[in-house]
Amino acid sequence: MSPLRVVVADDEKMARKRVTRLLESLGDVTLVAECRSGEEVLKHLDPAQVDVALLDIDMPGMSGLEVAQVAALRGVPVILLTAHEQHAVAAFEQQAVHYLLKPVDAAQLVRAFERLRGRTKPAPAGPLPTRVALTVRGDVVLLAPADITHAVYDGELVSVHTAQHGYITDESLQELEARIGSEHMLRVHRRALLNLAHVERLRSQPSGGYVAVLRSGAEVPVSRQVARDLRKRLGV
């Protein structure tokens, strides 16, 4: 099994050094970069070079939660570190592999890495499904991934949309994102997934984010952090 390639970010030097020493003690980990800010981490969020990012939540500038949103867009798993338990829900909304309370010890890191390795095991050989199955009021609705325009969580339920229909489902955004795949769907907000192929316009917002206007007329929020990444990818 090849070593995990890890990026560490914490604005406090002592906390950062503690984590890097723990990583060195594990023996099957390669430290790719040691960062002092969320902005610095963005330079290293390449899934071809990094297997996981260990991020402090409370950092000046971009917080760990904001970096995690960009990491999800780029396909880099995240483990969030903090001294505050109240961030747990937000951490998992950003698809964090794990959430660890400081001070972190070696046993906690080992368990977190085991969870990561288990989540990223290769899928069994065979063709990928050509339809996404949604449970809707007891029925199963089958949708082609390319036909799904967006999905939005309203705080209670998730609505999944095509150009013609909307469906309320018991699925979570995390489950949908994993099943639909990044080829068709991007996490553009902690409460929204978006298929860029259906977007007609990105309307700028004072916050620095966007509202994505779809050809169907629907509107989907795009967070400031994801908007920044999209501008780079689109060359605008």
> Is the same domain home to 47 and 92?
yes
- Is the pLDDT confidence value at 175 over 80? no
Average pLDDT over residues 94-112: 78
Give the CATH number of the domain where residue 210 resides. 2.40.50.1020
Reported pTM: 0.54
> Is the same domain home to 8 and 103?
yes
> Is the same domain home to 103 and 203?
no
> Is the same domain home to 48 and 92?
yes
Pairing, β 78-82 against β 52-56? parallel
Q: How far apart are CA 137 and CA 26, in angstroms?
A: 48
> Is the same domain home to 26 and 82?
yes
Residue 108 in any domain: the answer is yes
Q: Quick one: pLDDT at residue 90?
A: 52
Q: Quick one: pLDDT at residue 214?
A: 95
- The model's confidence at residue 3, banded by pLDDT at 50, 70 and 90, is confident
Average pLDDT over residues 68-81: 84
> Is the same domain home to 115 and 173?
no
Residue 126 in any domain: the answer is no
Q: From residue 235, how far is each of 43, 67, 227 by CA, in Å?
A: 17, 21, 12
Q: Quick one: pLDDT at residue 84?
A: 67
> Is the same domain home to 112 and 163?
no
Residue 69 in any domain: the answer is yes
Q: How far apart are CA 65 and CA 81, in angstroms?
A: 10
Q: Provide the number of structural domains found in the chain.
A: 2
| Domain termination residue (choose one: 90, 119, 148) | 119
Q: Quick one: pLDDT at residue 96?
A: 62
Residue 125 in any domain: the answer is no
Q: How far apart are CA 59 and CA 126, in angstroms?
A: 43
- Is the pLDDT confidence value at 79 over 70? yes
Q: Quick one: pLDDT at residue 124?
A: 46
> Is the same domain home to 27 and 103?
yes
> Is the same domain home to 61 and 144?
no
- Is the pLDDT confidence value at 128 over 60? no
Residue 12 in any domain: the answer is yes
Q: What is the pLDDT of residues 182-215, one digit of tens each?
A: 777 888 888 899 999 999 999 999 999 999 999 9
- Is the pLDDT confidence value at 4 over 70? yes
Q: How far apart are CA 148 and CA 161, in angstroms?
A: 6
Nearest to 223 by CA among 100, 90, 134, 132: 90
Average pLDDT over residues 12-20: 92
Residue 124 in any domain: the answer is no
- Is the pLDDT confidence value at 170 over 90? no
Q: How far apart are CA 20 and CA 9, in angstroms?
A: 10
| Domain termination residue (choose one: 66, 93, 119) | 119
Q: Quick one: pLDDT at residue 127?
A: 47
Residue 32 in any domain: the answer is yes
| Domain termination residue (choose one: 64, 94, 119) | 119
Neighbouring CB atoms inside 10 A of 216's CB total 15
Tell me which residue range forms the domain holding 191. Answer: 132-234
Report the alpha-carbon angle 146-165-167, nearest 5.
90
- Is the pLDDT confidence value at 222 over 70? yes
Residue 167 in any domain: the answer is yes
Q: Quick one: pLDDT at residue 122?
A: 46
| Structure-model confidence comparison of residues 90 and 72, the more confident one | 72
Q: What is the pLDDT of residues 26-57, one digit of tens each?
A: 888 999 999 999 999 999 988 888 999 999 98
> Is the same domain home to 115 and 143?
no
Of the chain, the percentage scoring pLDDT greater than 70 comes to: 89
Which ranges constitute the DSSP H helices of the chain?
13-26, 38-42, 64-74, 88-93, 106-119, 173-180, 224-234
Q: Quick one: pLDDT at residue 129?
A: 55
